[in-house]
Amino acid sequence: MDRAMTEPVKGGRLSLLAAALVVARRDFMAVLWSRSFIFFLIGPLFPLVVGALAGSVTGHVDNTVSEVPRLGVMMARADREAVINADDAIGPKLAGTLPDIFEVTPPKPGQPTTPAATLRRELAAGRNAGAILSGTLDHPVLTGPRDRIAEWQGSVSLLVAHARTADANLLPPVKLSVTAAAPPRAETGRGRALTAQAGQTLLFLLMMLLAGMVLSNLVEEKGNKIIEVLAAAIPMDAVFLGKLFAMLAVSLVGIAVWGAAGGVMHLASGQSIDFLTTPAVGWPVFTVLGIAYFAMGYLLLGSVFLTIGSMASTVREVQTLNMPVTMAQILVFFFASYGMAREGSPVEWAAMIFPFSSPFAMLGRAALHEALWPHLAALGWQALCVLIFVRAGAHIFRRRVMQSGGAQGAVKKKRGIFRKG
């Protein structure tokens, strides 16, 4: 296999970051071009699609099968017609406020004629009667269950008032002028707290969905025996960092796809996206911080997961690890939420300082407080923790996994984290 080089191709020393990027690029492309990545992308979309479809079907069923309770009118003919005319006149202007009305069936001879008896008779006949309006226009009586008549009292009073006067100017027409942007919601403490909670929850869901992937990340290398090639060429820190970068990039691709799909579905539903109070730092900064805290949270958790996963020798072991890892994530999330609800307390400070809860706590803080410098400090602290965890993880991996070869390697293969060493 002798050869003659046509052109010298000399290697060059790689920095830690450059070496990490070589690994990250390989991993990222390998995931991106794998068939399973399609399933990874569409997996989280299933609940959204199913939810949308189910909502649509339920709405349809509601509209066709399940009737809203209606108001039965049991008055003298003139009054009854006046009420019906009034309903026609003001009903459209008070969309959803006035109950639908219907004329009750006249009682047969011998049947009781009281409003209560009429209500029971209408219900027995299968008509969805919520209450009965009887009496006269001067002395109307509303008969029905307590909650129902309390709810309808005002609107029925308005209806009867219009029936009495037949005054077209009782509800004068209001000219409507539509604007493109809705005015901002009141930036109350409660509203911002809800925004903080929503941000934390979204961050938690994404982390829980995505960080677990890192667990199995080194199993492939161990299975393919390529880990030794990597370890000989570049520092193990770079291998760990590269794998984390790759999985972070994969996660961001997923988030971009899911975010876009979710946004399209939300807009297609015709609803406004202004359902949360503007966070204290404003939406653009909040979004940037959200991405930054997701990245840091992912790298922090990922560095630990990568180390734990690297100790596993089979995919089955990794799967077994998923449950305790998920529980740990939930605990961290609750810790951060608990801290946010106790502003200024030692618990909040602990949640902001403890590396794993810090991204959640700080994102919550971004919704509640305007100051930006704490976020710079927090991101710096989290980045430092990432480096420490990566170094520690690489060190443990080298000590515990890259131990021996040859005959001793056979011993190593049997030594998973659940097996006796």
421 near other proteins (CB under 8 A): yes
414 near other proteins (CB under 8 A): no
Matching residue, tokens 């079907």? 57
Part of the chain binding other proteins (CB under 8 A), chosen from 26-34, 63-71, 138-146, 187-195: 26-34
Q: Determine if residue 85 is left, alpha or beta; phi over 0 gives left, psi from -120 to 50 gives alpha, anything else beta.
A: alpha
Structure tokens at 110: 């011998």
Q: Determine if residue 404 is left, alpha or beta; phi over 0 gives left, psi from -120 to 50 gives alpha, anything else beta.
A: beta
- Residue selected from 2, 139, 176, 284 as contacting other proteins according to rule CB under 8 A: 2
Part of the chain binding other proteins (CB under 8 A), chosen from 44-52, 148-156, 158-166, 407-415: 407-415
Phi, psi (degrees; rounded to nearest 5) at 173:
-65, 140
- Residue selected from 22, 170, 253, 387 as contacting other proteins according to rule CB under 8 A: 22
CA dihedral 135, 140, 144, 149 (to 10 degrees): 180
Max intra-chain CA distance, the chain: 116
# chain residues binding other proteins, by CB under 8 A: 43
Q: Rounded to whole angstroms, how far apart are CA atoms 349 and 338?
A: 11
Q: Which is nearer to other proteins, 146 or 420 (CB)?
A: 420
Strand order in the sheet with 70-73: 101-103, 70-73, 129-135, 140-143
CB of 227 to other proteins, least distance (A): 7
Name the helix (H) or strand (E) containing 135: strand 129-135
Length of the chain equals: 421
Binders of other proteins in range 155-174 (CB under 8 A): none
- Tell me the HSE value of 85 on the side-chain side, using a 13 A CA sphere: 14
Beta bridge partners of 71: 101, 131
Part of the chain binding other proteins (CB under 8 A), chosen from 4-12, 113-121, 291-299, 309-317: 4-12
Structure tokens at 337: 């939420």
Part of the chain binding other proteins (CB under 8 A), chosen from 82-90, 198-206, 232-240, 281-289: 232-240
Matching residue, tokens 């509209």? 63
CB of 254 to other proteins, least distance (A): 20
276: which DSSP letter? S
138 near other proteins (CB under 8 A): no
- Residue selected from 94, 404, 414, 418 as contacting other proteins according to rule CB under 8 A: 404
226 near other proteins (CB under 8 A): yes
- Residue selected from 108, 175, 225, 420 as contacting other proteins according to rule CB under 8 A: 225
Part of the chain binding other proteins (CB under 8 A), chosen from 146-154, 273-281, 339-347, 397-405: 397-405
CB of 320 to other proteins, least distance (A): 24
39 near other proteins (CB under 8 A): no
For residues 312 to 331, the per-residue mask of contacts with other proteins, x marking binding by CB under 8 A and - elsewhere, is: --------------------
Residues that bind other proteins (CB under 8 A): 1-14, 19, 22, 25-26, 30, 34, 221, 224-235, 398, 402-409, 421
